[in-house]
Amino acid sequence: MQAHTFKKACVAAYPSTVQHDIVWFWPNTDPRYKDILVERKPPYIPQLDDPSYTKLMGNRYIPYGYEVLIENLMDPAHVPYAHTGIMKTQQPKMELRSPGSSRLIWTFPRNFGIWIDKVVPRWMFHVGQNLILDSDLYLLHIEERKIMDAGPTNWQKACFVPTKSDALVVGFRKWLNKYAGGQVDWRGKYSGALSQTPPKEQLMDRYRSHVLNCRSCNVAYKGLNVLEVVLQVVPIALIGIVAAAKQGAMSAAARTTMVSMAVICFASSRWLAHFIYKNFHFHDYNHAFR
């Protein structure tokens, strides 16, 4: 049914589908691609549709491109130094790409410990997953720029890959060199110039790259901020009550208790403010101290 009469009043319609709770679309309006998703379906993971499995999903915008992201996911050698103390093994992830930046979509299907997801809020899992991403985010951002400076086909000049576990990375880079000139072919839509590196606190900001787009983390962020305000107001109210109480109207024990509660609430508000900033805004990761 035609829903418009003016060509300027309509938007492009792309072939699209929903699979694994992700919207997939083919970015071309040419009629010949009308049924393309029947012929070329998105990657399918049976466990994600299996009711006996549970799954945790999340997404984040990260400041390095598709090539570096893929390389990172197939490189086991970087785990001991890049994720020291927070990660034992690599986890399966799914990714979408754009020049100089990527949107990472991850999922963790499992058929054991299903009860955990019903007890522990999703945002708590995301805090840990964001810490993993942050632990090598800056390194990968800088690596991409060093590779671009050397030239994508000369990536060996910017990277040192001496171990046997680097075989996948080397193979991937050789594949890119052979079929795509060392990088993704953006068909003239990308000049090759990357944006300047912003301050680290802005580069690794979790709020805009994840929290805003995550319903679970967004709700937790707002709730914790409200709690922080409450913990700041309560001490003022308690001290006000103590100050306003007439001499002898309140026992010394009661005064001490209320003052102690005020101090505890104020200290808790300061701790909570730090917790919110560290887990929902910026958490630096200095490998020199690991």
CA–CA gap between residue 20 and residue 93 (Å, rounded): 13
Domain boundaries, the chain: 1-44, 51-202, 220-282
The more confident residue out of 207 and 46 is 207
**pLDDT at residue 90 above 50?**
no
Whether 264 contacts 256, CB under 8 Å: no
pLDDT at res. 94: 47
Percentage of the chain beyond pLDDT 70 is 90
Confidence class for position 287, pLDDT limits 50, 70, 90: low
Domain 51-202 is found in CATH 3.30.1510.10 = no
Confidence class for position 233, pLDDT limits 50, 70, 90: very high
- DSSP assignment of 183-247, as one string? S---TTS--SPPPPP--HHHHT-HHHHTGGG-HHHHHHHHHHHHHHHHHHHHHHHHHHHHHHSPT
CA dihedral defined by 106, 118, 214, 61, rounded to 10 degrees? -20
Query: What does the pLDDT look like over 131-172, one tens digit per residue?
Result: 999 988 998 999 999 998 888 888 888 888 888 888 999 999
Q: What is the pTM of this model?
A: 0.82
Query: What does the pLDDT look like over 245-271, one tens digit per residue?
Result: 877 778 888 889 999 999 999 999 999
